[in-house]
Structure 1
């Protein structure tokens, strides 16, 4: 009897690639376009992982829907403009070792890969194209089609698309939203400490593990799969 397929789903921003230059610039322009004071960088990075409308609502409590939507559009315009030149690859570099993990897992016959991100489909496609990751992910779930994290819809859709069972699935992310989403979907969860949420905030979401580097992430996956 063959071993069951394993599904590994990654968050994108703060987990695979460091997009904070994109995010901070776009959010700054969104707030300036609305004539609002720009939040501190830590506050902006703290909402990474949420879908964009929800992120704006966290940063501007009580904002009117029309004003929120205008800021969302300003953010998207800024993000698109940043990718209009030739610097997109440099602006969102991989964290050390993360590309190597993706490539290694993509080469394993019993592993399927996925993305679950608060970005739009267009934003994901830009990052995937910039880093030449086309064809590596069997399922890609974005904010265009699902409620914001930590609702489990993205991961439930990933299971349905791949035919995998949650018992053999792992969610990897850098925010408490990722971990809460993974737990709600019945996934094992691994938090990475190099992203946008502090370790204590990650710990409060109760992941199965918190890892500090790519080597530690691969070791933890091997342990989950009984390879060690």
Structure 2
């Protein structure tokens, strides 16, 4: 029986797209709407990647007002923030190269899937991958849960073929590790200094132009 194709799971924010402008503006809007001090730029940037339901209480929003903050954030994000975004230079070429090498590609993001799908469609990424998987709207799932859903929908089990996660934050590494999948970190996203290495990323890629080769090496595929 033929073995399944190698699988590459891809984070979205900070890995495929530079989504910080729309996310940070929407977060700032939420704090302003609640009459709370807007965090500094570095703190706002840390909201990119992890579930928003975790980030608001971590950064000063009282527990009883978290849902109010989420509603304000989502209103601003749905109106305009989701489109204040761009694909990192070189990403489409890397995806095309990996598909040509026989890899199955799937976006696995903590962003609600109702936002992830139109974003990947608008920016031309949906046509370059085999599936887009995200969190439910309440963001109640972890990255490990999103990966589990992606594997189930694709009819895959961890270990049935070479697999790797590609992401820019520690929760990408931890979510993949929950399934016994290694994570290849990327430095052009939103991780703090040393975050990816400390989380256990098998390597960190510093240049989008080197991404496809790094994935090939991790999956033990022939070099170009």
TM-score, normalised on structure 1?
0.87
The secondary structure found in structure 2 opposite 1:117 is: strand
1:143 to 2:135 alignment: yes
Structure 2 counterpart SS, 1:142: strand
Counterpart CA distance in 1 for 2:219 and 2:110 is 28
Deviations 1:34-74 (A, max 9, x none): 0000111211222322222112121126x224x11111011
Q: State which of 81, 96, 107 in structure 2 corresponds to 1:103.
A: 96
| Structure 1 unaligned residues grouped into runs of 5+ | none
Residue by residue over 1:190-224, the C-alpha shift from the partner in whole angstroms, topping out at 9 and shown as x without a partner, is 00001101241111101111110123222211212
Aligned 1:1-228 pairs, distance under 5 A: 2-60=2-60, 63-65=62-64, 67-82=65-80, 88=83, 91-108=84-101, 110-144=102-136, 147-150=140-143, 152-167=144-159, 168-226=162-220, 227-228=222-223
The CA distance in 2 between the partners of 1:47 and 1:101, in whole Å, is: 26
Which structure 2 residue ranges, 5 or more long, are not aligned?
none
Number of corresponding residues: 219
Give distance in 2, aligned partners of 1:166 and 1:44. Answer: 34
Give CA deviations for 1:149-182 in whole Å, capped at 9, x if unaligned. Answer: 35x1111222222123423211110001111111
User: Is residue 172–residue 189 contact of structure 1 (8 Å, CA) maintained in 2?
Assistant: yes
Question: 1:49 is paired with a residue of what secondary structure?
Answer: coil
Q: Distance in 2 between matches of 1:148 and 1:45?
A: 21
**SS of residue in 1 equivalent to 2:194:** helix
Residue aligned with 2:118, SS: helix
Change (3 A) 1:121 1:172: same
Return the alpha-carbon distance in structure 1 between the equivalents of residues 213 and 130 of structure 2.
23
Q: Is the 8 A contact 1:54 1:148 kept in 2?
A: no
Deviation of the 1:79 alpha carbon: 0.8
Rounded Cα–Cα distance in structure 2 between residues aligned with 1:72 and 1:183: 28
What is the DSSP-based 3-state SS (H/G/I as helix, E as strand, rest coil) of the residue aligned with 1:55?
helix
The whole-number CA distance in structure 2 between the counterparts of 1:219 and 1:103 is: 12
